[in-house]
Amino acid sequence: MKISMAHERIEMNPEIMGGKPVIRGTRVPVEIILRKLGAGMTSDAIIVDHPHLTREDIEAVRLRSRQLASSVR
């Protein structure tokens, strides 16, 4: 059973990566992208590491992160 996320490029499915949020259609956890962004990697560098991702995928991760951060306040 898939759980819909606020952004169409991110999904949670208990059968993929133990239900962690991933980039839709991949097994790349959102957490990995956030860690790379936090370490100062650019979108281009992340795409080199994960060539099947797009800039839109990475922007979706940034947007979701901002949404979660603002809901904690």
Q: Distance between CA atoms of 60 and 68, rounded to whole angstroms?
A: 12
pLDDT tier for residue 67 given thresholds of 50, 70 and 90: confident
**What local confidence, expressed as pLDDT, does residue 69 receive?**
82
Number of domains into which the chain is organized: 1
- State yes or no: pLDDT of 49 exceeds 60: yes
Find all residues with CB under 8 Å of 62, minimum gap 6, and list them.
Answer: 37
CATH of the domain at 25: 1.10.10.10
Q: In the β-sheet with 22-23, what is the strand arrangement from edge to edge?
A: 3-4, 10-12, 22-23
The CA-CA-CA angle for residues 14, 15, 19, to 5°, reads 35
User: Tokens at residue 33, please?
Assistant: 């992208």
Which residue has tokens 């996320």? 5
Residue 63 structural domain:
3-72
